[in-house]
Structure 1
């Protein structure tokens, strides 16, 4: 084993390749927080986290002022102890997005070191259930697009071999949502899965109404139909529709996932590695869902989630939304609609450090313990 000697923090703003609009917001920028950990053996692990436009500097401040100083001198292999200790150190700000996102950047870097020193790819180190997983695309299903544009993108996705297509819903009228879903379903035929994403836009009565209106289109799921903290509403909705209800991208605690699963409030778990606090709680959540015979289809972060979804036996999908291309030298491998986990030791993400340093809005070095 070897202790952590020093750390670096970078904040890089990445603009989406396409305009991204959903029922409640526009995704204007991915603030990418990157942490590099150096251990006494010379190993370097890289972890990262993100926001969709606000809060990045707050994550950096939490890392630089409170978390990373406590990490210096710790044994890098003590991943579980480190995660628990750092979470307790910030217990007054948990459960919460900023704390989880900061913990995730550290935790993924520690897993990277472990995998690199073990000479294993992450998907094998974390479980090795499979080496590839079906991919679905969200990148052409945004709410501002016309019905014609949605259909054209769905046809391109089918031609590219994707196994599924997700589109945003939440137009002002039920009829408009129904017409858009119907057009995409007709374009896809019965051979591809069709997902819908509401982005927490509805009250319970409206979510039930829209689910009923969409029930004939054989949807793979209805994602985030209600605010993520409305457990009772999800229970009511799940009991009222045959459409699988998907939740998770806005849930920041394994215990909250436990509540959803115990109460039969969802049928698909979309746990996000950054928002749950890292690989350590992500794996716990995936295995918890496995105990309830519930599939995992992680939200966003395809470059990392492909390995985790392949590691877990109940991993079912990886979501295609490219975002790291400008600061990486590697790309997600997709063949015949399946995404393949990287075989290189570590996370399998090739970081372009010249690009990262050149684009960083904030850089910090942390060397001394608190």
Structure 2
């Protein structure tokens, strides 16, 4: 099993003081002191607010569709570009927040239409503290579209809301949510593809180790299973038993092959096996979990807490990889984390370390974030990683710095 942080200890408030009732009846609570008005020179019982309470309201939601080139095929998908939907929210006091979602292999038109239509209409005019209600209204209004379109679009607006709220509070997002830690482990994922030779796989992993990483992810599933086992074994033998090795199957296997492969990867000490089967094959993953010993990871193709909960209830996965720009935003990501904690599962969010570092630092059950360059070309700063560990930026909001010139240059709509 994957190591989990100690569960939080339930905190109890101070015991109620009880005083004996005269005559031996039920104990009674202490008498509350009488309130006095501040003009009598006594401290009031409640905070005295000076002037009206500010209730900022969203006045603008603008969306840019940006096409970011990836060069040669990236990761397991082989994508050569990412369609980024970049959102800017403005409130009635001029404060702003940014968010985004993305599409790797098509479908950005649907996301753009939702963001510039229904979501814009419902977001504008919403008070920031009423956003949770609006989130549910948008989710309900788009339910028949399917979660794979609606929740990624909603994610972009939701991330921007959380960024705006944290910036208004003057706090980094992870502290605004409630900091659990100040540093997060990172695993190396961006230097392995199906097309690489064994020597290239070893060298890519070796560079991560030289930089202080203690875990790397390799791609399997595009070759014969026997060849994949040999490739993983070569990396293990070259870099030793102290290195944690994960494998990503990119939904490429059938159940018998996954069982066969999982048993042999277990012998090599593989830390988790990611998406061995198509993500919508819940029953297959549940069977696989009982027939081999490597923990199963899923999440990049799941949307919303209910889909993650189904996997946990069936014992089909113990490592969850929610992607905040796809799963429903910060709001839903935090719910998924809470559900995972109930089942003793860990989180290792998918891609985008610059954003996920804030969420990982705000919850008790995140084992790693993933180093994988995806949108670096439109970032003015990538996440600094030292010795395989990263810290959230000490800036208000999510702290992501956008290269506005690159966003303008690559803008599609």
What TM-score results when the alignment is normalised by the length of structure 1?
0.94
How many residues in Structure 1 have an aligned counterpart in Structure 2? Answer: 359
Aligned to 1:195: 246
2:150 is paired with a residue of what secondary structure? helix
Other-structure match for 2:257: 206
Establish whether residue 286 from structure 1 lines up as the match of residue 328 from structure 2: no
Distance in 2 (CA, whole Å) between partners of 1:19 and 1:67 is: 32
Q: C-alpha deviations, 1:328-357, integer Å up to 9, x for none?
A: 222201111101111111011011223212
Distance in 2 between residues matched to 1:110 and 1:21, nearest whole Å: 30
CA distance in 2, matches of 1:202, 1:267: 19
Q: What is the CA–CA distance in structure 2 between the aligned matches of 1:19 and 1:84, rounded to whole Å? A: 37
Tell me how far apart the structure 2 counterparts of residues 105 and 14 of structure 1 sit (CA, whole Å).
17
What is the 5 A alignment of 1:132-281? 132-281=183-332
Is the counterpart of residue 325 in structure 1 residue 376 in structure 2?
A: yes
In structure 1, what is the Cα distance between the partners aligned to 2:93 and 2:302?
36
Greater relative CO (CA pairs within 8 A, separation 6+): 1
Secondary structure of the 1:308 match is: helix
Report if aligned partners of 1:104, 1:279 keep a CA contact under 8 Å in 2.
Answer: yes
Counterpart for residue 129 of structure 1: 180
Match of 2:24 in 1: none
Q: Distance in 1 between matches of 2:373 and 2:63?
A: 22
Q: 1:42 and 1:58 mapped to 2: Cα distance? A: 29
8 Å CA contact retained: 1:79, 1:111 = no
Q: Distance in 2 between matches of 1:77 and 1:356?
A: 30
Task: Show the counterpart of 1:4.
Answer: 58
Shift of 1:133: 1.0
Residue of structure 2 equivalent to 1:14: 68
The yes-or-no answer on 1:118 pairing with 2:169 is yes
Q: TM-score, normalised by structure 2?
A: 0.85
Provide, for residues 123-165 of structure 1, a one-character-per-residue CA deviation record: whole Å limited to 9, x for no partner: 1122311111111111111111111100111111110111211
- Name the larger-Rg structure: 2
Output aligned runs, 1:36-75, within 5 Å: 36-75=88-127
| Secondary structure in 1 matching 2:216 | strand
Q: How far apart are the structure 2 equivalents of 1:17 and 1:194?
A: 26
Looking at structure 2, the residues matched to 206 and 253 of structure 1 have their Cα atoms a distance apart, in angstroms, of 29
